[in-house]
Chain A
Amino acid sequence: MSHAPFSGLESSEPRRVVVAMSGGVDSSIAAALLKQAGHDVIGATLKLQECHDAQGSRSCCGVDGIARAREVAGQLDIRHYVIDCVREFEREILRPAWDEYSNGRTPSPCLICNERIKFGQLLTWSKRIGASFVATGHYARIEPIADGQHMLLRGLDTGKDQSYFLAGLTSRQLSALLFPIGHLTKAEVRNIGRSMGLSTAETHDSQDACLVAPGQSFAEMLRERFGAVMPEGVVINDTGDVIGQHKGIHHFTVGQRRGLGISYSSRLWVRAIRAADNTVVVTSREDALLSQRLAARGMNWLIPPPAGDDTFECQVQIRYQHRPAKATATLRNDGAVAVSFHKPVRAITPGQAAVFYDGDKVLGRGWIYAE
């Protein structure tokens, strides 16, 4: 049987393609579709952690994922290699993520992992084995634009779209990437998996959240890993009154409501984390979390703003699980972007990525910072 064509290689002659296989259904189907289209498909799984670090993790990047990917590669009759990135992952992802937490920010490790580890390492590796493309099972689409450039679009399954996590890729990287399931829905992907009898058709979604082990917070895992000692501090309310103690600012993120460890007459939300004086500011007014402005720096533009015009209309997404909000963006001389939302948005969190969209098109990605 055949399935709907996918963007990138529909009418191409057979090419060597490296497929990043996590062991989950999405990347398995990506590999299967490419194989079915007649390409020379090679599976690769990035090893990001040692076995003893992955205990209890049901994650895509855990060692269990490597075994599942190997199994699927066997079913598809393709070669499969494991690329050891344990050190790079520690240095480029885990360390910086801890630095962010310990400075009162909430990191975006998945985006950085995609930019520096997943696609960075895979593209380098694939060139060395003579592959023309790297494919993954992300729900996003790549389409060519003029001059050999490519643009990134949301996946057609809006509930599964992962373009937010990919917005830090460069146009040059996109031209060597394929997302074979970006035009499919999750249900369609599962159906293909079942019809092919693939063993991973029923696996759980891994998302990009490969670090979260059950019952453990990512931040606390990092603290233990790096042996950091976080000082206790105070929790204050809107009016500056001390209403409790905290056991380290890394336990908090802006907008958080649960697990504050404070009994109070009303619900509380984290409004701000002040690393400078080791203080967590909470509020009992949820609307205090609302804000209409943010600033983003370290911009990666996939579709640069129109020349000569520093202000443009767009939609900005400030978290993976956030509905993009209409905004006016203003480019600053230093390359940062000031965003003014048309309506207030909730819990703008320093350290997280702000991704700029024009409809389905990804314009660019920046890092939210507190001015």
Chain B
Amino acid sequence: MVYAAVPGKLWSDSNDRGLYKTTDGGKSWSLILKGPNPSTGCSMISMDVHNPSTIFAGMWDFRRKGWTFRSGGDSSSAPSGSGLFRSTNGGESWVDLNQETAHGLPSKPWGRVAVAVAPSSPKVVYAFIEAEPPKNGLYRSDDGGATWQALDRSQYMVWRPFYFANLIVDPKDENKIYKPDLVLIASTDGGKSFSNIAGGAHGDFHDVWIDPLNTDHLITGDDGGLWYSYDAGNTWWKADNLPISQFYHVSVDMDRPYRVYGGLQDNSSWVGLSQYPGGIANAQWENMYGGDGFWMFADPADPDYLYAEYQGGTIGRINRKSHENRNIQPLPVSSEKKLRFNWNTPIALSPSQKGTIYLGSQFLFRSRDHGQTWEKISPDLTTNDPEKQKQEQSGGVTIDNSAAEMNTTIHAIAESPLNSDVIWAGTDDGNLQVTRDGGKTWHNTSVNIKGLPKNGWVSSIEAGHFSAGQAYATFDFHMSGDMVPYAYETGDYGQTWKRIASGEPGPVRGYAHVIKEDPIDKNLLFLGTEFGIWVSLDGGHEWAQYKGGNFPDVAVRDIVVHPRDNDLVIATHGRGIWIVDDISPLRGLTRDTLEKEIAFRSALPTVQQIPAWGGWVYGDASFIGPNPTGDAVITYYQKKRHIFGDLKMEVLDQNGASLGTIPSSKRRGLNRTTWSMRLKPPRVPPGASGAGGTGIGPRVVPGVYTIKLTKGKNVFVHQLTVKTDPRSTYTFEDRKAQFDLTMKVYRLLEEMAFAVAEINGVRSSLEAGASKLPASDTLGARLRASSSEADAFRMKIVATKEGGMITGEERLREYTADLYGSLNGYEGRPTQTELDRAESLSSELSGVEKDFHAWTDAHIAGINSALSGRSLAPISVLTREDWEKQTSQK
């Protein structure tokens, strides 16, 4: 049996709203409590855990629009449907608890209602009631809801009830109550008074979980995330492993690796690295501002500065190093009365003029001097509808006028990359304006869009990269209950528009937040909606949802194609920043290609990233963003999934010599398989422990390599260009010297592996001969003694003390493996020390080998003659040729 408070359609009337119940585990549901009007739903339920037929329900009349909201009724002729109800028969019938039926409750109208039955003493019931001040506040009943007493109504009991109305009673103590608000407050005296226990948490609390067995153990959620307390809220630990951040916008710079900039819902504006040795930890993100964050850009005219904003257009220019911040928001001159800035005020950089920046209120502003002066380059571009400018009356029963409902504002700005006089501005009330003369004259082009509903939000504008008259725009009507995508394209400065995504018949789902055109391929479009990202290869005729890398069905609010690295950088509202590495294989992907069995796709040349180590151990409660692969990525299209037989991928060097095979990818569609660019690891002699560092091969030098893909009888060939990391400080000759010396040490390890195999072969042969002799035969002792003598040579090459301890024993194998690992870890010119070391280790090994061969020359002939006298097999000495045959089979 489950009860569910169902909100119904969030932005429009719904007869589905109310409290539902299932008695068959969710197979069927019935509506057991419904509001008196279609904007009233169930805001909270609480059950008597000792008698589950007794249920209290708070009902809430609420409606939000783009420019206002009400918590309570719509007007005097449409009174609030909010109320408090009790059932004692599992929801079959309900009693309306109000001033008349339950002594002590406040008079109506009410807004939001929270209710909680004390689990340890179910006659104690608490209700928070958003009534008209001063009747708003906490109410308590000690008789199961029959009579009520008004208690606390301190600031954070009554503040912003539409956002915070919730009550949580301690499972063991009916007098201990938690009330989430801007801060978290708690009462230990049955609701008479409350203390702030927010501690070091973010603020804007919404819920509290209390461990029923240890009630000092709390978990709370606020606008900053999830927090744990083990001392009843005196101190809080942050859960840093939840990558659920809500970005509004994203931008990138041109550093190597490039940085990502963006603003978060109620969590400031951040800059982070797109990759970092060891992974992108939270420490690789730096907070640069405050408040809610939205648009954020590096200043292309001065790399020491960046622009960020918080709600309502509060734009700052911030020094990246000192974090000094200068507020540069345009202010009204007296005749304008008020500048109306959207909650999410648009900032745009000119794509062609470094240092030119745009900002929109109801007017479009332009600055060419870092915000020192702003030029107003438009009249009021909105409908300037006075009905949408009554924010001072917004909120319903409790007035609530934050910047969030500001309306009749500019919401999207785009300057043409081809002509800086062509500027687009879209408003939150349906106007899509364009100027072709740098702001002297403006035309509202949304009137030219056939079938477009009126007064939607222009959620994004993309000025075309290939024609100054071309642009794309998305409109969002979700705040009037219309959830379908509206995306349009024009080729004539907005005189005519063509709808390119409508959700009918599909596949695009959800209202549209952003559209972007690839800067290289004009047919490649990206569309972000409330439910994900869609890609079109043909200018918007057909769309497919991007699901690569398990990309979730999450709201995509902004998208950037990195102009150098071709990465698709995606701002999600709920899953942080995602990067799709190098989307260039999508460019020019035509229907012809899609009909091919297999087709390689071109990509950027592979950069051999500098080998580097970073990061540290952060524990499991910390999110680490994955880096792009350091391997070469080979991309090919495959019409069908490969299931039977070989799909063999071989790498060839510049001379056509094979460097070995690599595993291929098998999926239908675009495949990405990786090549480490390393040769196979060296063969290493066995020793007391692992020869650390020898598990990987040397990395090949930059150049052009050939990838040969064989499927059945068909062979497909692709050239892969491998380049040096542009950040590296060494020359190709340096790199070649590193590779050559690494290979020399590689060969030394292999020579060593052979030498040990040779010694072990002789020893095995000697031991085998001895085991076949009777105990009385003295030859047995001689053979065993010889085996020990041979082993002495082995013990000069490899460490042999075993047992799992740190023996510190090092021989040629261990020294050489260390040198090999060191050479493999730095790709510039080796040090003179390393060159000398390689030489001396090589000569030491030669010495041992020479001594061993001198020993075999002196002893084996005699031993073989003795063995022959007893008709036993002679001692065999392994040749390099045979060893190669044996070990290459592995």
Chains A and B belong together in one complex: no
